[in-house]
A and B are shown apart, each in its own frame.
Chain A
């Protein structure tokens, strides 16, 4: 496993600490973000709800890194988000969400492309089970 680039370390730490400013600062200008829930976006303001919605739903957000591949200014990361529910039906639920992302870093080391993949069915199944 390669070493996690600083911008990704910052972004993941910000996710875990629900730190909106640090999260948004990890992204370059311009950037492209795509994930199963938000689709494709280049709108910086569309990043903000990533933290506010996460903070609303989860009382704890931890990330276990499985694999990191660094290839020039591209990298790929594989990780599991370990979430403890706070509200919106997730109260008391523990959810493990396997994720991966392909990332392009800009010349200043920030995130120019974030292409994330995960199964939203994990949430549906957790809610049904809970």
Chain B
């Protein structure tokens, strides 16, 4: 595991805001002209767009936490690996527990995040849904 003190403050503030499910605090860590990208999204400098995306995520996932697993680089240019845990709050994800390994390349601009390029496997969510459904199925059989 990685010590928090070895990771730049803007990165910790961003991840802590994600953990709290606070989309405005999370978006507030992004610098002017920021780039945010992930497997299915890319936002450049559009703060309302980022706030909206983060708000949708916050509504969808609760009970969030993360653990830093890797850090390469320091100062204003680094890559971090972390493992997110969360539980679905709505729709087909309701009650589904997910453990998601993520890696992000980050550039710090001033005291905020100029670029956050993260990657993860979206299939993790489908597998978690399947596992939750199988668990519910076996509980129903066990109680019959």
B122-A121 in contact (CB<8A): yes
- Answer yes or no: B66 CB below 8 A from chain A CBs: no
- Answer yes or no: B77 CB below 8 A from chain A CBs: yes
- Answer yes or no: B96 CB below 8 A from chain A CBs: no
Give bound CA distance, A76 to B80, whole Å. 9
- Answer yes or no: B102 CB below 8 A from chain A CBs: yes
Residues of B64-100 contacting chain A, CB below 8 A: 70, 72-74, 77-79, 81
A19 to chain B, nearest CB (A): 26
B114 to chain A, nearest CB (A): 13
Residues of A35-78 contacting chain B, CB below 8 A: 36, 67, 69, 71, 74-76, 78
B73-A71 in contact (CB<8A): yes
Given A71-B73, A75-B72, A76-B72, A115 and B119 touching (CB < 8 A)? no
B48 to chain A, nearest CB (A): 25
- Answer yes or no: B117 CB below 8 A from chain A CBs: yes
Mark contacts of A92-130 with chain B using CB atoms, 8 A cut-off: 1 yes-contact digit, 0 otherwise: 000000111110000000000001011111101000000
A76-B105 in contact (CB<8A): yes
B103-A102 in contact (CB<8A): yes
**CB-contact partner of B103 in A74, A115, A120, A122, under 8 A:** A115
Mark contacts of B98-134 with chain A using CB atoms, 8 A cut-off: 1 yes-contact digit, 0 otherwise: 0001110100000000000101111110000000000
B39-A119 in contact (CB<8A): yes
B53 to chain A, nearest CB (A): 17
Given A100-B79, A115-B103, A69 and B122 touching (CB < 8 A)? no
A106 to chain B, nearest CB (A): 16
Q: Which 6 A-B pairs have the closest CB atoms?
A: A76-B79, A119-B39, A36-B121, A76-B72, A121-B122, A69-B73
* A-to-B contact residues, CB < 8 Å: 36, 67, 69, 71, 74-76, 78, 98-102, 115, 117-122, 124
Contacts A/B (CB < 8 Å), 16 sampled? A69-B72, A69-B73, A69-B77, A71-B78, A76-B73, A76-B103, A100-B117, A102-B72, A102-B81, A102-B103, A117-B102, A119-B40, A119-B120, A120-B123, A121-B123, A124-B123
Beyond the given A74-B72, A115-B103, please list 4 additional residue pairs across the A-B interface where CB-CB is below 8 A: A36-B123, A71-B73, A119-B119, A121-B122
